[in-house]
Structure 1
């Protein structure tokens, strides 16, 4: 297969009209240029230049090949330019999967900064209610970066971003509303708004309850922590939700657990050396997990 250098020599020969000037324009010797042209002719199985007594003349085949060669050289130059832009974090595409409760809580400030400082980077966002589903997309190559709670299991590269608090949500008439906090063992027997079994939140809640020897009494299940908070606030019972699910200020009573409980927030990727992934994660780590303001993030109901 012919090389880009040979095509470059042909284009220079067409543009300059002589071997001497073409070689000079490419900063190479005349024999080296002639060698590249000869190799190209062998590849095409036809002459691209006619050797004259004084110089050379490009053949019709040579001129036709040169026109296509210009396109190939432009494409190669564009590929190098794009590669450099992506390597510098100023171009390309970054696909992000995020837990739905964390988009506004964690991602929006970083996304806004990237939009203003790196307008050539195309950002794509997909939101999920399950950390395990996000990992499936990551492993399938459908996303570059996952931001959310630690999944049940994964072989992806993980970086700890911080922790978020898990809290109790219920309605104003519930006895928990008069408490400053709720002991974990008092969740036993309460009508409980749980999560779908295929959701990582369901696994986390069940493991948490088992570790405290608490038996929960689910009355219904949902995929979304936001929905769980709304259902509990509407009088369906109590639920455990992450504070990131309270960004919409649900009409509900929110109380801390006693003792306080947190879960890990991580960034997962299969390509930790990727320039865009590395820079985005660095910005997430630099910003950190938002501080919990008891008065704002945990409304009293």
Structure 2
């Protein structure tokens, strides 16, 4: 590579109802004379992971992600699935064109393409914690997340909307209304600091690093993206009527003060479910449903802001 700064760009061409290719044309035109640019379009599920691994092996340490929260999530999983380069030496920027675009909301990264690109070009960076999900009863590779891991109700919502996000920002709200009539509560044993506590009739568990999920919902109390701790919310025995009455509270954050919601901070949890295992999502992507161990990697990667 020459002395010019090198970026590898990962583009999801179907993100944002197919905007990816068109936006990349604009971005490429603005970058190509000042930087060394390599790029690749995703073509299949988890392709972002494969692309990221290959790019890191080629020596790239600066990335631009053009896509939604799911594209970013797969990039993060790629970074933390390799040991060629310390993740703290990798920096990425995001041009968000997805449905929810929740991660960028915490960091006030604009959805305007020109303004988002300007942040990357200006070069100011911050650092961020990363969550790691390990599966206790299978040999599956770890799953990583940069925003939030949700268990239970919102895992079901993500499953419902996964193949149809044509309603834009209303997608998750419509999915949530449908999920209200399909969801079944679950029981679990939660182990923290070698102490195990049982929770019955759980509605949802949120492990937050950043603030927003589901197109702007705020379901954790005081998340901090670089304090080395998950902001945890556990809701039990919530009824359909509780949710309907508090629908505004899901978006303004007041739901966490409901008497049926418990909040705390921790850097490590083990979750063991009963036979009625809940669905789980990480950064809006459905992941394997089974008993899990969740830990945090503090200040593990850098991003342009």
What's the TM-score, normalizing by structure 1? 0.27
What's the TM-score, normalizing by structure 2? 0.27
Structure having the higher strand fraction is: 2
Name which one, 1 or 2, has greater alpha-carbon Rg.
1
